[in-house]
A and B are shown apart, each in its own frame.
Chain A
Amino acid sequence: MNWEVIIKWLPRLLQGATLTLELVAIAVIAGLILAIPLGIARSSRLWYVRALPFGYIFFFRGTPLLVQLFLVYYGLAQFEAVRSSAFWPYLRDPFWCTVFTMTLHTAAYIAEILRGALQAIPRGEIEAARALGMSQTKALIYIMLPRAARIGLPAYSNEVILMLKASALASTVTLLELTGMARTIIARTYLPVEIFFAAGLFYLLISFLLVQGFKQLERWLRVDACQGR
């Protein structure tokens, strides 16, 4: 193992890792925001409210992220309407294409997590809210969403880590995030073992920090205390 090479290229890998973190952070936060209305609509009793999020989730869960990324990055530019639209400065940029695709992709999964969490709330707790005179909306905002957040948090943290690793696909559309950067360095040094090893360590470190962060969040939100019922 050539440690000197690893140390030499560490700053560049760190640069890549920063881009990876940016991609993942924007995607999982924007995805969460997008997933809240989707997940609520998905758990509706009315079929016509459920239908749209169902179709959305069906598409984004049912096709590979890589295909979605290619469709956005290579596909959208085919349309004159897209090229002449106000979004073109963003949609021609691989960074925003990746962020856009990852967000839509992860939102589908998070919406499913939220739906499951909403449906897992013990019925009696919702009845208690309604019996105290809360409207459906108030019960949803003040009782059900905070409760569902705790039920769904472990699954959400899992999704964040999956997205961290899925972000490696961004290297296929020219982005120099951690994997893209590693491949570029390898093209120069011809030392795939060392560089991929170092990149792997970065991924491990990031997931370790994420796991620790979510652990703290779970403790702060008292997730454990809420489960045993």
Chain B
Amino acid sequence: MAEATPALEIRNLHKRYGEQEILKGISLTACDGDVISILGSSGSGKSTLLRCINLLENPHQGQILVAGEELKLKPAKNGELIAADNKQINRLRSEIGFVFQNFNLWPHMSILDNIIEAPRRVLGQSKAEAIEAAEALLDKVGIHNKRHSYPAELSGGQQQRAAIARTLAMRPKVILFDEPTSALDPEMVQEVLSVIRALADEGRTMLLVTHEMNFARQVSSEVIFLHQGLVEEQGTPQQVFENPNSARCKQFMSSNR
């Protein structure tokens, strides 16, 4: 194979909650610079898929490879697969950025402290070094003037931008966005989307679970439509949005126009 190693590869991922199978064997490949949007109705397993990638949820079956390195998994008593090597999972997690729907900033720390904490504790950066990088990132997401504020003093859009800066501070190879605008007021959605768009333009590798159909269409290099735990439709935005093969996907797209 002449192709370069994909930045992220998922093979045959399965996840159950009790008897209910949420993911029924999902595979996907993200090459460097790919922006893959994952669409689907509620309960189709989009968020679960994303959370399984860095083991915030434990899958029951499947393989996860980050830049060609396979995440070592071992079965736990309850049938889930858990990390076999704690050092490895912590290192891989530091390379996979994750942006949450609810931001999950630490409310007792200033925005700047939120951003420098992980680079200092995980990457071993000095405080000065981490602050310098954080200031540049805050500038980039447009909330430099809020660096000494606390999360509760920021609007939702600003909090999400701070959370994105916190993720970027780890210099991740891949960033996973789990419905980053779903908890926001409509008027704050755009400011967050424009930050994500800028990241896409930089050529970052990203997986994006979203309900912002127009946005997904504009920024994605590939769109995946999930339905009942399976990839129902997959292809370029044009193909999936305008000419889907599956009836379910067609219906979903037309209801979201």
Residues of chain A having any CB pair with chain B under 8 Å: 122, 124-125, 127-136, 138, 142-143, 146-147, 150, 221-222, 225-226, 228-229
Partner of B107, one of A132, A133, A142, A226: A226
A147 to B151 CA separation, bound complex (whole angstroms): 14
Residues 40 to 83 of chain B near chain A (Cβ within 8 Å): 54, 56
The answer to whether B122 touches A226, judged by C-beta atoms less than 8 angstroms apart, is no
Chain B residues 158 to 174 lying within 8 A of chain A, measured CB to CB, are: 163, 166-167, 170
Top-4 shortest CB links A-B = A133-B94, A132-B118, A128-B104, A124-B104
Given contacts A133-B93, A226-B108, contact A142 B102 (CB under 8 A): no
Chain A residue with minimal CB distance to B176?
A131
Residues of B within 8 A of A225 (CB): 107-108, 150, 152-153
Contact, CB under 8 Å: B106 / A150: no
B54 → chain A closest CB, angstroms: 6
Known: A128-B100, A132-B94, A132-B167. 20 other contacts (CB 8 A): A125-B104, A125-B106, A127-B100, A128-B104, A128-B163, A130-B56, A131-B56, A132-B117, A132-B166, A133-B90, A133-B93, A134-B90, A135-B90, A136-B86, A138-B121, A138-B122, A142-B117, A143-B117, A150-B108, A222-B150
Q: Confirm or deny: B241 has a beta carbon within 8 angstroms of a beta carbon on chain A.
A: no
Query: Contact: B54 with A131, CB < 8 Å?
Result: yes
B148 within 8 A of A: no
Closest to B86 in A: A135
**Bound complex: CA A124 to CA B153 (Å):** 19
A68 and B163 CA atoms in complex are apart in Å by 50
Q: Tell me if A130 and B93 are in contact (CB < 8 A).
A: yes
In the assembled complex, the CB of A204 is this many whole angstroms from the nearest CB of chain B, namely: 32
Q: Which residues of the other chain, A, contact B107 by a CB distance below 8 angstroms?
A: 125, 147, 225-226, 229
Q: In the bound complex, what is the Cα–Cα distance between A226 and B108 (angstroms)?
A: 6
Q: CA A146 – CA B117 in complex, angstroms? A: 13
Contact A128 B106 (CB under 8 A): yes
**Cβ-Cβ contact count across A and B, 8 Å cutoff:** 77
A129 to B150, CA, bound (A): 17
Q: Does B248 contact A (CB under 8 A)?
A: no
Whether B118 lies near A133 (C-beta < 8 A) is yes
Contact residues on B (Cβ < 8 Å of other chain), bracket: 20 to 34
* Known contacts A128-B104, A143-B117, A222-B108; is-contact A133 B166 (Cβ 8 Å): no
Which residue of chain A lies nearest to B167 when distances are taken between CB atoms in the complex?
A132
Return chain B residues, CB-CB under 8 Å to A146. 108
How far is B86's CA from A147's CA once the two chains are assembled, in angstroms? Answer: 24
Complex interface: chain A residues within 8 A of B92 (CB): 133
List A contacts of B93 (CB < 8 A): 130-133
Judged by a CB distance under 8 angstroms, whether B98 is at the interface is: yes
Our pick among B98, B105, B121 for the contact of A142 (Cβ within 8 Å) is B121
A-B contact pairs, 16 of them (CB 8 A): A124-B104, A125-B104, A127-B56, A130-B56, A130-B93, A131-B98, A132-B122, A133-B122, A133-B170, A134-B90, A134-B118, A134-B122, A138-B121, A150-B108, A225-B150, A229-B107
- Encode contact with A along B127-170: 1 for CB under 8 Å, 0 otherwise: 00000000000000000000000101100000000010011001
Q: How far is the CA of A128 from the CA of B90 in the complex (A)?
A: 12
Give the residues in chain A near B102, CB-CB below 8 Å: 124
CB-contact partner of B106 in A131, A133, A135, A147, under 8 A: A147
Min Cβ gap A145→B in Å is 11
Query: Chain A's nearest CB lies how many Å from the CB of B114?
Result: 9
Name the CB-closest residue of B to A123.
Answer: B104
| Cβ–Cβ < 8 Å partners of B152 in chain A | 225-226, 228
Query: Digit string of B18-49 for contact with A (CB within 8 Å is 1, else 0)?
Result: 00000000000000000000000000000000
B91 touches A (CB below 8 Å)? yes
**Which of the listed residues A129, A133, A143, A222 has the most CB atoms from chain B within 10 Å of its own CB?**
A133
Most buried by A among B93, B108, B118: B108
Contacts of B54 in A (CB 8 A): 131
A135 to chain B: closest residue by CB = B90
Find chain A residues with CB under 8 A from B118 CB: 129, 132-134
Q: Among the interface residues B54, B100, B121, which one has the most CB atoms of the partner chain A within 10 A?
A: B121
